[in-house]
Amino acid sequence: MGPDAAFEEMNQRAQKRDKDSIEVLGKIGDDRALETVLPYIEGDTDPALQKVTLKAIGEIGSDEATQTVADRLVADEPEVRSAAARALGRIGDTRAIEPLSDLLADDGDDNVRASAAWSLNQIGTQSALERTREYTDDRSYIVQVEAERAAKATAEPETAL
């Protein structure tokens, strides 16, 4: 089975909300899958489906999905917010810096905040890293770890004497 045939087969299965097929579509990384899977992250009816779909969207990596994924940063379920944050990090679109920074600052769940910090590190621009670096003394160890990574990435290299 060639790549196009594999895509078509998985896309047909994904249209039935088959989580394994959605996961495979993410691994294939074809933007055409977005038309099928983007609607699955809307609403708050099936968090497990949303998590799998958000991961697949992140793996596809198309910035066409940035706004739709960013809209899930306010989902009711912390696992969905975390998956949305990580998807934005995988996509790498700089338009996500502001909403991820807000999530890092304001979310009540430390795992969600850590996902936002990880994603800002993945985006990797100076602005994203500076926003993450501010949290080196955070109450949450998992947020601190990401903040320390950002601080290390933005540190001036030591000059040899």
Which residue segments constitute the domains of the chain, with CATH numbers given?
3-154 (1.25.10.10)
Q: Tell me, what's the pLDDT at 161?
A: 52
Taking only the tens place, the pLDDT of each residue in 21-72 is: 999 999 999 999 999 999 999 987 899 999 999 999 999 999 999 999 999 9
The pLDDT of residue 155 is above 70 = yes
Its pTM surpasses 0.75: yes
Distance of CA 57 to the CA centre of its chain: 8
Q: Tell me, what's the pLDDT at 6?
A: 86
The pLDDT of residue 160 is above 60 = no
Q: What is the DSSP string of 71-116?
A: GGGG-SSHHHHHHHHHHHHHHT-GGGHHHHHHHHHH-S-HHHHHHH
Give me the count of residues in the chain: 161
Query: Which one is predicted more confidently, 148 or 3?
Result: 148
Taking only the tens place, the pLDDT of each residue in 139-148 is: 999 999 999 9
